[in-house]
Structure formats: structure tokens, C-alpha cells
């Protein structure tokens, strides 16, 4: 019995004020448990009657102590609840507030908007189109040969691949927007198409199954390679600084002829050679070329009257070079520590 009384006293001591005591009838339940008619203390008093008289003095003292402890605790808790209710009256409205944190644009949006802005200053307007495309707009109209590897399951996420029907896939590049725009508009055409693209790649630091591209297309009478080159020089200097040099390397894309890849002088080491440019002094930036006459014809544009240039670039790569992001996965993980680094960039 002495043990039990000690245990109850400890239990009562251990009770601390808790916000939930305010909402519920917590304190009343506590009172009933110890001091109620059928509570623990009354039960102990019943038991007390049966004790031998030599024990009664000591146990009686302990029982009274338990009863006092329980009563005091209840009063203490009730007082706490009262003062908590009064708390709003103590509110000091002159204290400075805490500011909620302001979010920031994702670095890919920042870079994408920058590219859009640079091109819009020389008359390009934004064109958008679907992310789920058919074979015609993705490949055939863009002069892809039937056996081109991009038409393979390995590279492309097919939504529908049914024998004898138009195949449907997640777009692998924004070049499909070129076709949609040329089919629906007459030259002069001057558009940029920013957007999300999808490829069947294993995710690593250097590859991802989702990424972003910006495509540019200019079609008019007498558009020449010189126009393309001037546009590229303008873009490189606006994007990476006025010191930036460009170089064009011959390349191949089914939808352009001739085709080229553009490098810029490394903006990290200024062309001297560093680990970002792998010692070459140059960074590969984008693909471009003169729109293949077959593509113009496929889209209903007379290739004898009109010519054009096109270019396409990866937004993740641009952001990587501008802000030295070393791992592509960071763009999609939404780790607040990564995102917050760009909150000063608007």
C-alpha cells in the first residue's frame, strides 16, 4: 500500500501543463481519477480501514499527503488554464512581426526567361505547343529517315505504338514546334519555342529523362547563314557577356542543311582552359543550321521563295554553365538549399 501511495504521488508530481488541457475536460478527468467518489484515493481510504493499528499512523499521514498533492495539482492546473485564456490580453501589437519567407523562381525559369527576353529584343515571339506529339511533327516532317535511332524505343517514350497507325510519343525535342508553326503561319516567321522535352535516358548527373529546350526559327525571303551567325553572336554576348567569342563546327541534323554546332569561349577561364571546358577553352552550347528545304516543303512553304534558320539549345546546360551547377538532378529534386541560392536572381 505504501508503494502504491508513493507511485501516485510521483505520478501527480509528473503532471505538467499542456495546451490540450485547455480544450478538453482533461483536468476534470484527472480530478475524478484521484479525488472522485470512486477514485483511487477513496479506494485507498477503504483499504486503510483494514490495516493493523500500528501501521495506521504512518499510512494515514501518507494518504493525507497524497490527497493534498492531488488537490494542489488540480488548483495549479486550473490556474494555468485561466492565465492561458488571458494571454491574448497581453498581446503586444508594437512588437516587430516575423516575416513569412518569400519564395523564388526556379533557376530553369530564370534562365528560360532570360533566353526569351534576349530573342524578343530582336523580334522573336514565343510559340508554344503540345508535349505529346505524333510522328509527323516529331520526326517525319523534320526529315528524319525511317531508320533514325530517335524513332527507336530506346530514345523515345512512346505513348502509343500501334502497327500501321500514326505513332504518338512524348516530344523528344522542341523542333516539333517549328513544324506546327510553319504549317499554320505564312512567312515571315520569327519564333522561339521554350518547353519541356522527354527522353528515355537513365537518370544521372549528366542525363535526365525530362529536360528543357528553347528552339528558335526564322523563315523569310533571303534568310542566309550570315543572319544565323549574327543572331548567334548577339545571343552569346547577351547571355554570357560581351567578351564572349563563338565558333561554329560543322555538324549534322536531319532538319537543317548545312548544320552546325556552336561553342562559346569558356566564360569561366576566359578561354585559357579549365576543368569546366576540359582544357579546350570552348563550351558546346547549341545546335543550328539552315532549315532543310524538305522541311519547308513538308510544312507547305515554298522552298524556292523562302529560306530560314533554326537553332535549339538545352536550358539545363545553359543554367549549368551560367551558375556552375554540376549535377542535372539538382534541378528536379526541389531541395530548398539548392533553390534558395538563386533567390537573388530574378
Q: Which is nearer to ligand DAH, 31 or 173 (CB)?
A: 173
- Residue in 44, 239, 288, 299 binding ligand DAH, rule: CB under 6 A: 288
Determine the Cα–Cα distance for residues 238 and 277; give it in Å rounded to an integer.
20
3-state helix, strand, coil in the chain (%, to 5): 45, 20, 35
In the bound state with ligand DAH, the residue whose beta carbon lies nearer, of 258 and 273, is 258
* Residue with smaller CB distance to ligand DAH, 172 or 267: 172
Q: Taking contact as CB under 6 A, which single stretch among the options 69-77, 114-122, 237-245, 306-314 is the one that binds ligand DAH? A: 306-314
The set of residues, in sequence order, having a beta carbon less than 8 Å from that of 253 and lying 6+ positions away, is 259, 287, 289
Question: If binding is defined by CB under 6 A, does position 312 make contact with ligand DAH?
Answer: yes
Residue nearest ligand DAH (C-beta atom) = 312
Give CA–CA dist 326/99, Å, rounded: 33
Report the Cα 137 to chain-centroid distance in Å: 29
Count of other CB atoms within 10 angstroms of residue 45: 13
Binders of ligand DAH: how many residues, by CB under 6 A? 11
Q: First-to-last CA distance in the chain?
A: 73
Residue closest to 236 by CA, chosen among 224, 226, 245? 245
What distance in Å separates the CA atoms of residue 106 and residue 261, rounded to the nearest whole number? 28
Q: Is residue 244 at the binding interface for ligand DAH, with CB under 6 A as the rule?
A: no
Name which of residues 189 to 228 contact ligand DAH (CB under 6 A): 215
Contact flag: residue 66 with ligand DAH (CB under 6 A): no
Closer residue to ligand DAH (CB): 253 or 282: 253
| Among 194, 195, 289, 308, interactor with ligand DAH by CB under 6 A | 289
By CB under 6 A, name the one of 175, 244, 265, 298 that touches ligand DAH: 175
For ligand DAH, the binding residues (CB under 6 A) are 173, 175, 215, 253, 256, 287-289, 310-312
Amino acid at each position: 500500500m505504501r508503494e502504491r501511495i508513493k507511485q501516485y504521488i510521483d505520478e501527480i508530481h509528473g503532471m505538467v501543463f499542456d495546451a490540450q488541457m485547455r480544450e478538453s475536460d482533461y483536468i476534470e478527468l484527472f480530478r475524478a481519477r484521484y479525488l472522485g467518489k470512486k477514485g483511487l484515493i477513496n479506494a485507498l481510504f477503504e483499504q486503510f480501514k483494514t490495516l493493523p493499528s500500528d501501521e495506521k499512523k504512518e499510512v494515514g499521514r501518507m494518504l493525507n499527503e497524497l490527497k493534498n498533492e492531488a488537490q494542489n495539482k488540480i488548483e495549479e492546473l486550473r490556474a494555468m488554464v485561466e492565465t492561458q485564456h488571458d494571454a491574448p490580453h497581453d498581446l503586444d501589437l508594437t512588437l516587430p512581426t516575423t516575416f513569412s519567407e518569400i519564395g523564388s523562381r526556379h533557376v530553369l525559369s530564370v534562365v528560360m526567361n532570360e533566353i526569351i527576353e534576349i530573342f524578343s529584343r530582336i523580334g522573336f515571339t514565343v510559340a508554344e505547343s503540345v508535349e505529346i506529339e505524333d510522328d509527323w511533327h516529331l520526326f517525319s516532317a523534320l526529315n528524319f529517315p525511317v531508320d533514325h535511332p530517335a524513332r527507336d524505343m530506346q530514345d523515345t517514350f512512346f505513348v502509343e505504338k500501334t502497327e500501321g497507325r500514326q505513332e504518338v510519343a512524348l516530344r523528344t525535342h522542341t523542333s516539333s514546334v517549328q513544324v506546327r508553326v510553319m504549317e499554320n503561319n505564312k512567312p515571315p516567321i520569327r519564333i522561339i519555342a521554350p518547353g519541356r522535352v522527354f527522353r528515355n535516358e537513365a537518370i544521372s548527373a549528366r542525363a535526365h529523362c525530362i529536360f528543357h529546350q528553347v528552339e528558335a526559327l526564322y523563315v523569310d525571303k533571303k534568310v542566309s547563314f550570315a543572319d544565323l551567325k549574327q543572331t548567334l553572336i548577339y545571343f552569346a554576348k547577351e547571355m554570357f557577356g560581351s567578351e564572349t567569342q563563338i565558333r561554329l563546327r560543322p555538324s549534322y541534323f536531319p532538319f537543317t542543311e548545312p548544320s552546325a554546332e556552336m561553342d562559346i569561349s569558356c566564360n569561366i577561364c576566359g578561354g585559357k582552359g579549365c576543368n569546366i571546358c576540359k582544357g579546350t577553352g570552348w563550351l558546346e552550347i547549341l545546335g543550328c543550321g539552315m532549315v532543310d528545304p524538305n522541311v519547308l516543303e513538308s510544312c507547305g512553304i515554298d522552298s524556292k521563295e523562302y529560306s530560314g534558320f533554326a537553332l535549339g539549345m538545352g536550358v539545363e546546360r545553359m543554367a549549368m554553365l551560367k551558375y556552375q551547377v554540376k549535377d542535372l538532378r539538382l534541378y528536379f529534386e526541389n531541395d530548398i538549399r539548392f533553390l534558395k541560392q538563386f533567390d537573388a536572381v530574378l
